Amino acid sequence: MQLLLELIQWVGSMMDIDHTNLSRLDLNLLVAFDALLSERSVTRAASRISLGQSAMSHNLARLRRLFDDELLTRSANGMRPTPRALALAEPVRNALRVVQSAVLESGTFNPAIADRVFRIGLADSIEVAIMPVLIERLQAIAPGVSIRLRPANRSDVLEELDTGQLDLGIGVFEQGQAHHFRRQLYTDHFLCLFSSEQLGVSPPLSLGEYLKFPHILTSLAEDTRGVVDETLAKRKLRRRVIMTTHGFLAVPFVVRRAPVMTTMPSRLAHYFADAFALATSHVPIELPRFTISLLWHGSFNRDLSHTWLRQTIASLVSEDSLEL
């Protein structure tokens, strides 16, 4: 424990280094600790840093002796970190990032020869809008770079950035702390998506037509009310929601087959309209616009590979360059 605190103090304040004590600490143990805390699984942590499961179990045993603490305990939902492990997670991660930046990275980043995995949290609506052009670009200029996507709502992204489970979040972020950095990508608005053949109407929709037909609501919250319903309620109006879902990907298949409609981000609506021969219309009520941003932990702010990825995404999805 004392050895780790001495390392963290050196990283944070550049105090005099106690070479004698620090030489007794295996930096690989800190790497294993970070992987275990991120994955909450010996098997997944071993895979993450290319170790065998028995070697990772041995590292966990050494860490428990080093800190005189269980660090991870078994629970019904997997391995649960102890309070001491949670307290150490962020300082250890920051220490490793500083060491990586200062020792392992050169003054340049060459995407053509890079071998790096980035973990990104985002909603599937943004995944459809951004990932096709991003993967196309990566295959052309950085074939060794891989992307791992995971669905995440706004509150999950903040926590997962802090715990190192994500490198980057993409979405609508209205909250955050001083160590969360944000870069705006584009501003979007809502459109209504429907089948003219199924509904027997053509765009633009009137308010009466919009309220006449049943709706599909997409929301990550366990609720049957979204921004449309809140706006309608202010005018003492309501729509009939017959289906709610966490994701958008099944929605155009339903809209094509049934006399229903949905309201979704315009870029996604245009994509589905072209792919499924559907119609779009401006929503006949005033809905707020929203801004899609990149969000990352401040410890990655000067990371060369991370900076390159952020700049690449921003260049692809700017207001004028992204076409669906």
CATH for 173: 3.40.190.10
Question: Which among 16-30, 170-184, 205-219 has the top mean pLDDT?
Answer: 205-219
Residue 145 DSSP SS3 = strand
Confidence of residue 10 (pLDDT cuts 50, 70, 90): very low
> Which tokens is 139 given?
């295959």
Whether residue 145 lies inside any domain: the answer is: yes
How much is the pLDDT for 128? 87
How much is the pLDDT for 49? 82
Whether residue 150 lies inside any domain: the answer is: yes
Question: Mean pLDDT score of the chain, rounded to an integer?
Answer: 85
Instruction: Mark whether 175 and 306 lie in a shared domain.
Output: yes
User: Which amino acid is present at 290?
Assistant: F
Using one digit for the tens of pLDDT, what is the confidence trace for 238-280? 999 999 998 898 999 999 999 999 999 999 999 999 999 999 9
Confidence of residue 89 (pLDDT cuts 50, 70, 90): confident
Question: What is the residue range of 154's domain?
Answer: 116-184+297-316
Q: Tell me: cis bond preceding 204? Omega within 30 of 0 counts.
A: yes
User: Which amino acid is present at 2?
Assistant: Q
153-162, 242-251, 289-298, range with the lowest pLDDT: 153-162
List the beta bridge partners of residue 72.
81
Instruction: Mark whether 171 and 235 lie in a shared domain.
Output: no
Whether residue 322 lies inside any domain: the answer is: no
**Which DSSP letter does residue 6 get?**
H
> Which tokens is 6 given?
């001495």
Cα separation, 134 vs 126, whole angstroms: 12
Instruction: Mark whether 259 and 280 lie in a shared domain.
Output: yes
How much is the pLDDT for 23? 57
Domain edge (last residue) among 104, 138, 170:
104
Instruction: Supply φ then ψ for residue 115, to 5 degrees.
Output: -125, 95
Whether residue 110 lies inside any domain: the answer is: no
How much is the pLDDT for 209? 97
Instruction: Mark whether 21 and 68 lie in a shared domain.
Output: yes
Reply yes or no on whether the pLDDT at 3 is more than 50. Answer: no
Signed CA dihedral, 28, 161, 220, 131: sign only? negative
| CB distance 31 to 104 below 8 Å | no
How much is the pLDDT for 104? 55
Task: Please tell me whether the overall predicted TM-score, pTM, comes out greater than 0.75 for this model.
Answer: no
Instruction: Mark whether 303 and 260 lie in a shared domain.
Output: no
Instruction: Mark whether 92 and 233 lie in a shared domain.
Output: no
Instruction: Mark whether 162 and 212 lie in a shared domain.
Output: no
Whether residue 111 lies inside any domain: the answer is: no
32-46, 146-160, 247-261, 278-292, range with the lowest pLDDT: 146-160
Cα separation, 151 vs 246, whole angstroms: 10
Domain edge (last residue) among 104, 136, 167:
104
Whether residue 321 lies inside any domain: the answer is: no
Give the total number of structural domains in the chain: 3
Cα separation, 307 vs 105, whole angstroms: 13
Instruction: Mark whether 171 and 204 lie in a shared domain.
Output: no
> Which tokens is 297 given?
């932990």
Instruction: Mark whether 94 and 14 lie in a shared domain.
Output: yes
